[in-house]
A and B are shown apart, each in its own frame.
Chain A
Amino acid sequence: MSWQCVIGLEIHVQLATRSKLFSGAATAYGADPNTQTSWVDAALPGTLPVPNAEAVRLAALFGLAIDAEIAHRSVFARKNYFYPDSPKGYQISQYETPIVGRGVLPVRLDDGREIEVEIVRAHLEEDAGKSLHDVFHGATGIDLNRAGTPLIEVVSAPCLYSAEEAVAYLRTVHQLVRWLGVSDGNMAEGSFRCDANVSVRPGPDAPLGTRCEIKNVNSFRFVEKAIEFEIERQIRALENGETIVQETRLYDAAQNRTRPMRSKEDAEDYRYFPDPDLPPIVIDEAFLDGLRASMPELPRARATRYQQVLQLSPYDAFKLTESRALSEYFEQALSALATGQPSTRHPALAKMAANWINGELASALNDEDRPIEQSRVAPGALAGLIRRIDDNTISGKIAKDVFQGMWAGEGGADAVIEARGLRQVTDTGAIDAMIGDLLAQFPEQVTKFRAGDEKIFQFLVGQAMKATRGKANPAIVNERLRAMLG
């Protein structure tokens, strides 16, 4: 039988606000326990929640970016459950009228294929506190610093059909929320978490199978592995004639398997009802118009522009738009390069900039685990280097040495070229003299070449480049060498 797996993701995105969703306590990560816990967060009697305008703005901004309907009137609801890290006995969430309705996100897979992922809704809610099980012997410690932190929960339709599709979608949401400044997307700090609903069925036309939910997997790699494991587990069970029990499962990264956490019989009964402490959130058209006007060019539109206007390859275009900071770097470098150049030259300059940014610069940043914002070589400086390749002052090969010098803080491209004496030799007189010496030095090879051994030519070019420590213009060396051998 050929099984089809069906996956839906629930992504919790922590909104980039300074204060909490319903209180003026700080949301900064890593503070001492309960030092960012207000009376509201601790659910003291008599306190009332007041919604954070910025959280509403960020949620609506995300909604507009996925072409979703934004609710003009959305209502907070209480989701009732008892757990010590949720001191009210309920979580304030949204149920029937979420702020963001149905939307769609185009997703590009690694193999270049494109899928459209349907997003069912995204609702505003508050995060719970943290339970620490290993601080005390026989007791659990509760830190409410995170309680009340604003989240949006982004719920996809069950429309993903492989672990690969699920991860590509997850990455695209991650890219988008960071691009928009909706979230810092820091997975290690829990700002971006994902639950995966996984089921399998005998074929694409069969009804959906019973699903299991895999909770809180906090890296892209583990999401992929957890889903792959879960698909295999369910198929094996079904082929053995077992039935799948609807349950929540935890992924154990160390053992690469999922295990049951709790069954869903009772737990699902959250008894949602509108929160009487909170009047509806009203959003008018004027507010949305303002948001639309402030919407930056989105990564996908930008990648398309790079391909159509700058004629970059899809690989370069998508690589450069992985993050807004990287893309801004490219834009600034290109703008410096293109100044005073006719537009017909822009694609060639863009290609050079893309190669340098996705090549040398990316690997230098990677070596130091340094974000692009903290690059040791500024976009204008990189443009200065590329200009020197473009005007034949240096070869592409020498440029790598110049780049290393710039990265090491030796100054701009021109300063490094001068200080290290790397200017390319284009003076044909000097090159002729050097080739003359070379031919005298290797008479045997010259004879062989003249007898028809074409391989020798590359050897002689190599010797010429070596003699000038790479500084001779390769095109001129080729041309003069051939002329003088001929």
Chain B
Amino acid sequence: MERSTIHKLADLARLELSPELENRLADDLEKLLGLVSELQQVDVSGVLPMAHPQAERATLRSDIVTETDRVDALERLAPDMSQGLFRVPKVIE
């Protein structure tokens, strides 16, 4: 697998990889792709793509508000929250 592909994937996933991890991932991904290429040889012409392994169709819910204000619980879970807002590193485009 090309190093540039690994770098691109890491970038898309917002991951910083150490050289050792990069090597290991390259091996793992190589094996995964080998498996996928084997799968790709199966003739699936005429087979409808399966979006979900079990249910045939989604069960829909009625349009009713069932949730209440959980901001206090969210605050206990969040690493950094203030004035009801999750605080994250500055992101500006």
Asked if B88 and A54 sit within 8 Å, CB to CB, the answer is: no
Task: Report yes or no: B85 in contact with A132, Cβ–Cβ below 8 A.
Answer: yes
B69-89 near A? 1/0 per residue, CB < 8 Å: 111001001000011111111
Minimum CB distance partner of A269 in chain B: B12
Given A269-B12, A281-B57, A281-B58: A140 touches B91 (CB 8 Å cut-off): yes
- Chain B residues 1 to 36 lying within 8 A of chain A, measured CB to CB, are 8, 11-14
Taking CB atoms and an 8 Å cut-off, the chain A residues in 294-349 that contact chain B are none
* B51 touching A35, Cβ below 8 Å: no
Pair A133/B14 contact, Cβ less than 8 Å: no
Q: In the complex, are the beta carbons of A261 and B93 less than 8 A apart?
A: yes
B83: which A residues are within 8 A, CB to CB?
33, 135, 141
B43 interfacial contact with A, CB 8 Å: no
Contact at A33–B85, with CB atoms within 8 Å? yes
Determine whether the beta carbon of B67 is less than 8 Å from that of A142: no
Nearest opposing residue in chain B for A17, CB measure = B63
Interface size on B, residues (CB 8 A): 40
**Shortest Cβ distance from residue B58 to the other chain A in the assembled complex, whole angstroms:** 4
A53-B60 contact given A35-B71, A279-B51, A279-B55, CB 8 Å threshold: yes
Query: A75 at the A/B interface (Cβ < 8 Å)?
Result: yes
Cα A44 to Cα B86 with chains together (Å):
14
In angstroms, Cα B91 to Cα A142, docked, is 11
CA distance A154 to B60 in the complex (A): 23
Interface pair A53/B88, CB less than 8 Å apart: no
Size category of the A interface is 35 or more
Query: Could you say which residues of chain A place their CB within 8 Å of the CB of B11?
Result: 266
Q: Known contacts being A266-B11, A280-B58, is A24 close to B85, with CB within 8 Å?
A: no
Per the bound structure, the CA–CA distance linking A132 and B51 in Å amounts to: 36
CA distance A397 to B47 in the complex (A): 75
Closest 4 interchain pairs by CB? A24-B66, A141-B85, A54-B63, A279-B55
Binding site for B on A (CB under 8 A): 17-19, 23-26, 32-39, 42, 44, 50-56, 73, 75, 80, 82-84, 131-133, 135-136, 138-144, 261-262, 266, 269, 271, 274-276, 278-282
Listed A/B pairs (23) with beta-carbon separation below 8 Å: A19-B65, A26-B65, A32-B71, A34-B71, A34-B74, A35-B84, A50-B59, A50-B61, A51-B61, A53-B60, A55-B63, A83-B91, A84-B86, A135-B85, A136-B87, A139-B88, A142-B85, A142-B87, A143-B85, A269-B12, A274-B51, A276-B52, A280-B57
Having A136-B82, A279-B54, A279-B58, one finds 20 other A-B pairs with CB under 8 Å, namely: A19-B64, A19-B66, A26-B67, A38-B70, A39-B70, A54-B63, A75-B51, A83-B91, A84-B86, A84-B91, A136-B85, A136-B87, A139-B87, A139-B90, A141-B82, A276-B53, A278-B52, A279-B55, A280-B51, A280-B58
CB within 8 Å of A: which residues of B?
A: 8, 11-14, 49, 51-67, 69-71, 74, 77, 82-93
